Amino acid sequence: MIEYRREGLLPEKPHSVFKPEGQLAYEHVFTRDGFDGPFSILYMREQVQFMGEGVSVDALWDVSVGRDPQALRRRHLRSFERAENKEMSRTEEHFLARQVLLSNADLTIGTCKFESAAETLFSNGDADELFYIHEGGGVLESAYGELEFRQGDYLCVPKSVIHRIRVKGPQYWFWVECKSGLRVPKQYRNTIGQLRMDAPYTHRDFKSPVLKVATQRRASSSFELTTKRRGRFSKHQLSADPFDSLGWDGTVYPFTFHISRFSPRSGQYHLPPTVHGTFATAGSLICSFVPRMVDFGEGAIPCPYPHSNVDVDEVIFYCDGDFTSRRGLQAGSISLHPAGIPHGPHPGAYEASIGAKEAHETAVMIDTFDPLRIHAAAETIEDAHYDESWV
Q: Which residues bind Fe ion (CB under 5 A)?
A: 314
Q: Is the CB of 11 or the CB of 328 nearer to Fe ion?
A: 328
- Classify residue 378 by its DSSP letter: H
Min dist CB 311 to Fe ion, Å, is 12
Contact assessment for residue 199 and residue 157, using Cβ atoms and an 8 Å cutoff: no
Min dist CB 390 to Fe ion, Å, is 14
Q: Is the CB of 234 or the CB of 309 nearer to Fe ion?
A: 309
Q: Is the CB of 133 or the CB of 363 nearer to Fe ion?
A: 363
Min dist CB 242 to Fe ion, Å, is 42
Contacts of 102 (CB under 8 A, 6+ apart): 108, 109, 110, 315, 336, 372, 373, 374, 375, 378
Q: Is the CB of 295 or the CB of 314 nearer to Fe ion?
A: 314
* Terminal Cα-to-Cα distance of the chain (whole angstroms): 45
Min dist CB 312 to Fe ion, Å, is 8
Min dist CB 323 to Fe ion, Å, is 13
What gap in Å lies between CA 337 and CA 175, rounded to an integer?
18
Min dist CB 183 to Fe ion, Å, is 23
Q: Is the CB of 93 or the CB of 314 nearer to Fe ion?
A: 314
- Classify residue 346 by its DSSP letter: P
User: Strand 121-124 and strand 223-229: pairing?
Assistant: parallel
CA distances from 296 to 267, 287, 299, 345, 354 (A): 7, 22, 8, 20, 10
Min dist CB 273 to Fe ion, Å, is 7
Contacts of 388 (CB under 8 A, 6+ apart): none
Q: Is the CB of 158 or the CB of 304 nearer to Fe ion?
A: 304
Q: Is the CB of 259 or the CB of 316 nearer to Fe ion?
A: 316
Work out the number of other CB atoms within 10 angstroms of the CB of residue 346. Answer: 17
Contact assessment for residue 62 and residue 376, using Cβ atoms and an 8 Å cutoff: yes
Task: Name the nearest CA neighbour of 195 among 272, 263, 283.
Answer: 263
Min dist CB 306 to Fe ion, Å, is 9
Min dist CB 223 to Fe ion, Å, is 46
What gap in Å lies between CA 375 and CA 341, rounded to an integer?
20
Contacts of 112 (CB under 8 A, 6+ apart): 94, 97, 98, 99, 131, 171, 172, 173, 175
Q: Is the CB of 24 or the CB of 72 nearer to Fe ion?
A: 72
Amino acid at residue number 386: Y
Contact assessment for residue 5 and residue 247, using Cβ atoms and an 8 Å cutoff: no
CB-based burial label for 197 (10 Å; 0-12, 13-18, 19+): exposed
CA distances from 35 to 38, 43, 362 (A): 8, 18, 39
Q: Is the CB of 25 or the CB of 363 nearer to Fe ion?
A: 363
Min dist CB 159 to Fe ion, Å, is 29
Closest-by-Cβ residue to Fe ion is: 314
Q: Is the CB of 314 or the CB of 379 nearer to Fe ion?
A: 314
